[in-house]
Amino acid sequence: MEYSIQELSRLSGVTTRALRWYDKIGLLKPSRVAESGYRYYGGAEVNRLQDILYYRALGVGLAQIKACLDDPSFDRLAALQSHLAALEAEQARLEKLIQSVKDTIRCEERKESMRDEQKFEALKQQIVTRHEELYGREAREQYGDHMVDAAQQSVLKLTLERYQEWQELNRKIQRQLEAAVAAGISPEGEAGRDITALHRRWLTITGSAYAPDKHRGIVELYVTDPRFLAYYDKNVPGCARFLRDAVIHWAEG
C-alpha cells in the first residue's frame, strides 16, 4: 500500500513538517516523488518510520537513529527485541513508582505513617526517575541502554545502609570541593587526591566496576554540561572544574 505524506502523517501521528525534515536529513526518504512534488511512501518506508519511532521513544537522537538504520549490518528483529526489553524494563520501573505513590497516598488518606523501608524504596525510585528525566537521553546515547539500565537497577538494589553512605559521600565530596576551591588549593595536591578517592567510592558503591577512563569521561561532563556545572558550582564557582582536574590527575586503576 502507498501513502501520501498527509496519509502517513495521520497513520503515524508524525507531523508532515517532521516527515519533510526526515526527508531532508536522509532519515526517511519517500519511495517516490510525483511530478507534482508530492511525496509517497510504501511498505518499506512505513517499517522504517516505525523503527524511527521506537528509537525516539527510547530517547535516541535522530543522527544516531540514521546511523543505526543505515548500517548494512542492521538487524531489525534484533533491534525490536532490544526495544522490547528496554520498554519492559521501563514498564517495571514505572509500575514500582506507581505503587510507591499509591502507598503514599493511602497512608496520607488514612493518616498513617509509612514504614521507613517504604519511604526508602520511594526515595531510591525518585532518584532513578529524576536522573532519567535529566540525563537519561545523553547517558543512553553515550553508554547504551544496557549500561544505564544496569546502573539504575544497582541503585534500586542498594540497602538502607549503603544508600545512606552513598548520600553522605555525595555531601562530603561537595563540602570538600567547596573548601578546597575557597582555599585556592591545587587539584593536584592531597585534597584533590582525597576527593578523587571519595568520588571513586561514590561511583562504585552500587557495585559498578571501576574504570579510570570512564571516571575521567564522567567528570569531563561536569564542566561541559550546564546541568552538572550548576549542581557542583551552586555555592562556590569552580567546584566542577576542580573535581574534573583532580580526577584527570589522580584517577588510576
Is pLDDT above 70 for 118? no
**Distance, CA of 242 to CA of 187 (rounded, Å):** 6
DSSP-derived secondary structure letter, 3: E
Beta bridge partners of 41: 3
Calculate what percentage of the chain has a pLDDT beyond 90. 47
Distances (CA, A) of 208 to 131, 180, 192, 227, 253: 17, 28, 22, 23, 14
**Distance, CA of 114 to CA of 106 (rounded, Å):** 9
**Across the chain, which distance is largest between two alpha carbons, in Å?**
72
Calculate what percentage of the chain has a pLDDT beyond 70. 94
List pLDDT tens digits, range 225-238: 888 888 899 999 99
List pLDDT tens digits, range 172-215: 999 999 999 999 999 999 999 999 999 999 999 888 789 999 89
Is pLDDT above 80 for 132? no
**Distance, CA of 119 to CA of 117 (rounded, Å):** 5
CA 217 to the chain's CA centroid: 15
Is pLDDT above 80 for 246? yes
Buried-exposed string 121-136: b where 16+ CB fall within 10 A, e elsewhere = bbebbebbbeebeebb
Q: What is the mean pLDDT of residues 140-156?
A: 77
Q: Which residues contact 107 (CB under 8 A, 6 or more apart)?
A: 113, 114
Q: What is the mean pLDDT of residues 120-145?
A: 73
Q: Identify the residue with better confidence: 83 or 210.
A: 210
- Measured in Å, how far apart are the chain's first and last C-alpha atoms? 58
Q: Identify the residue with better confidence: 132 or 77.
A: 77
List pLDDT tens digits, range 134-144: 677 777 777 67
Q: Are 200 and 192 in contact (CB under 8 A)?
A: no
- Kindly report each contact of residues 212-217 with a partner whose C-beta sits within 8 Å and lies 24 or more positions away, as own/partner: 212/251, 212/252, 212/253, 215/247, 215/251, 216/247, 216/248, 216/251
Q: What is the pLDDT of residue 119?
A: 62
> Residue 19 — very low, low, confident or very high, per pLDDT cuts 50/70/90?
very high
